[in-house]
Amino acid sequence: MNNNVKIKNITRTVQKENITSMQEVNTDICVVGAGISGVSAALEAARLGRDVTLIDSLPALGGQAVNSIIGIFCGLFSEGSDPYQFTHGIADDILRDLGRAGALYFRPEKHNVVMYDEVALSRWIENAVYENGIKLVLGASLSGVTVEDRRIRSIEIVTRYGKLRVNASSFVDASGDAALAWEAGLPCREPAEGKVYGTHMFVLEGVNADYAPASMEEVGERLKQRAEEYGLVRKDGFAFAFPGRNTALVNMTHVETPLEPLAAAQKALEGKIQADKVFQYLKKEYPSAFENARIRSYGLPGIRQTRWIVGRHQLTEEEVLTGTQFSDAIARTSWPIELHNRKNGFVWEPFSNDHVHYVPFSSLTPPDVDNLVAAGRCIDGDLAALSSVRVMGPCIAMGAAAAHALDLAGTGSIHEININELQERLKENLFRKDTSIWKK
Ligand SMILES: Cc1cc2nc3c(=O)[nH]c(=O)nc-3n(C[C@H](O)[C@H](O)[C@H](O)COP(=O)(O)OP(=O)(O)OC[C@H]3O[C@@H](n4cnc5c(N)ncnc54)[C@H](O)[C@@H]3O)c2cc1C
């Protein structure tokens, strides 16, 4: 201890004075939800010169892409041996920067997918949000919405540090659960029967690197035969190795994801219990690969499809299967229908190599308000259609579309923007077909 430093050991008493006081934030575009679609919307809007405020109920950016450790970009590339990239915008920047940092792994098999290091993605998003001057409120849940004359005027949010009111010209609902549309009293959809299961992802470290990624899929095959013996709920799934890192990403649980607070917390604990059982299964069944492995991290509950908006158009399974070319298309993908509507497995319907399907702008826009666009997994689709377009490639494209549409609308109505002008701005995400980064 330095005896020469005099400690200012004086305290003061403070007391909350005005219990109704609320901090006010004024902004052009307010984005609710900082998952991959909200981040895409916020960054694109900031690059267009808009003042942007980004809000998330988690204390961290990145939504499920980071915090549920999804770990793989899907739906970003076409199928086949010479894939091209469907979505550009921030996807280009992420692929470039994470690629340079050695934080990507391009899996060479069909259904062209790219594994990423979630820590690297998290830091990329944080730096990008910071550098683009986006106002950020984390640990912030929606508590109220004011709607007047077909416009959302403001939202109220609660954080551990106090309450805020955000007044904005326009809003993006990128909450995944249509939280903004729901709070605004707009009609929303949920499965009429049954449910769509989520997954508690986890990452193993200390995996034997000789256990090649291709044979990792065999894990899922054997699971079909042995699941009951180990008390496992799900009878399929995968454990993908990340070459050079001795880690593996495991997606083998199925857990309910209710939108009720007590049940949601309970199911999160049950998801981890399932994950622990899966780990025991992997260790016993594949000792050469997992004998010395440990669970490095559990993701937050992975939530697939809960509640979503009613848009001007509901994207249908038929439109996805036939690749309907909408006059107001804003995103494209060829990701299979991947519907997790059974406890012990899921529907998987892949397409031919030349298949492409599209997302129309009208599936992002609730008809009863003029300044709200949804993006990501809470746009309007039937169960099967949504199960394809909710993956991250199209989510990034939908975020970009939301930002450009609101930029074009300004203080007017998103229902009256010039769609050709919007599509001109989004042309790379609709038409570009040059061979991608995949081959570099
Ligand atoms: C287990 C699992 C595995 C998957 N695997 C893949 C895969 O391999 N590849 C792929 O591309 N896709 C995959 N997907 C799909 C994809 O990850 C998600 O659909 C996508 O990340 C959704 O992004 P989003 O931005 O729409 O929503 P989210 O990432 O869910 O972000 C929504 C954000 O909104 C916030 N929020 C919610 N409610 C409120 C509120 N009331 N107030 C404030 N903030 C709120 C949340 O905290 C969250 O951060 C998977 C999904 C799951 C669940």
Tens of pLDDT, residues 161-190: 999 999 999 999 999 999 999 999 999 999
Among protein residues, the one with the nearest Cα to ligand 1's atom 40 is: 141
Which are the contacts of 323, defined by CB distance < 8 A and separation ≥ 6?
355, 356, 357, 358
More confident residue, 438 or 401: 401
Q: Is the pLDDT of residue 2 over 70?
A: no
CB of 252 within 6 A of ligand 1: the answer is no
- The residue-averaged pLDDT of 326-334 equals 98
Class of residue 21 by CB neighbours under 10 A (exposed 0-12, middle 13-18, buried 19+): exposed
Q: Is the pLDDT of residue 227 over 60?
A: yes
SS3 202: strand
CB of 338 within 6 A of ligand 1: the answer is no
User: 318 is written with which tokens?
Assistant: 């038929």
- The residue-averaged pLDDT of 352-368 equals 97
Q: Looking at residue 213, what is its pLDDT?
A: 43
CA of 65 to the centre of ligand 1 (A): 6
Among protein residues, the one with the nearest Cα to ligand 1's atom 4 is: 70
Q: Is the pLDDT of residue 212 over 60?
A: no
The residue whose CB lies within 8 Å of the most ligand 1 atoms, and thus the one to mutate among 141, 175, 300, is: 175
Q: Give 12-36 pLDDT, tens digit per residue.
A: 999 888 777 789 999 999 999 999 9
The residue whose CB lies within 8 Å of the most ligand 1 atoms, and thus the one to mutate among 31, 57, 64, is: 64
Q: What percent of the chain has pLDDT over 90?
A: 83
The residue whose CB lies within 8 Å of the most ligand 1 atoms, and thus the one to mutate among 257, 392, 396, is: 392
Cα–Cα dist 377/52, whole Å: 21
Q: Is the pLDDT of residue 355 over 60?
A: yes
Q: Looking at residue 104, what is its pLDDT?
A: 95
- The residue-averaged pLDDT of 186-195 equals 95
The predicted model scores a pTM of: 0.96
- The residue-averaged pLDDT of 191-209 equals 94
CB of 364 within 6 A of ligand 1: the answer is no
Q: Work out the mean pLDDT of the chain and round it to a whole number.
A: 94
CB of 392 within 6 A of ligand 1: the answer is yes
Instruction: Pick the atom of ligand 1 nearest to 392's CA.
Output: 11
Question: Closest by alpha carbon to 241, among 274, 206, 276?
Answer: 206
Task: Label residue 243 by pLDDT band (50, 70, 90).
Answer: confident
HSE value, Cβ hemisphere, 13 Å, CA-based, for 370: 14
Q: Is the pLDDT of residue 236 over 90?
A: no
Strands (E), 326-387: 329-333, 337-342, 345-349, 357-360, 372-374
- Residue 432 CA: distances (Å) to CA of 74, 179, 353, 404, 428: 18, 33, 17, 18, 5
CA of 305 to the centre of ligand 1 (A): 9
Among protein residues, the one with the nearest Cα to ligand 1's atom 30 is: 176
Q: Is the pLDDT of residue 53 over 80?
A: yes
Q: Give 83-113 pLDDT, tens digit per residue.
A: 899 999 999 999 999 999 999 998 876 678 9
Per the listing, tokens 């959302």 go with 152
Task: Label residue 433 by pLDDT band (50, 70, 90).
Answer: very high
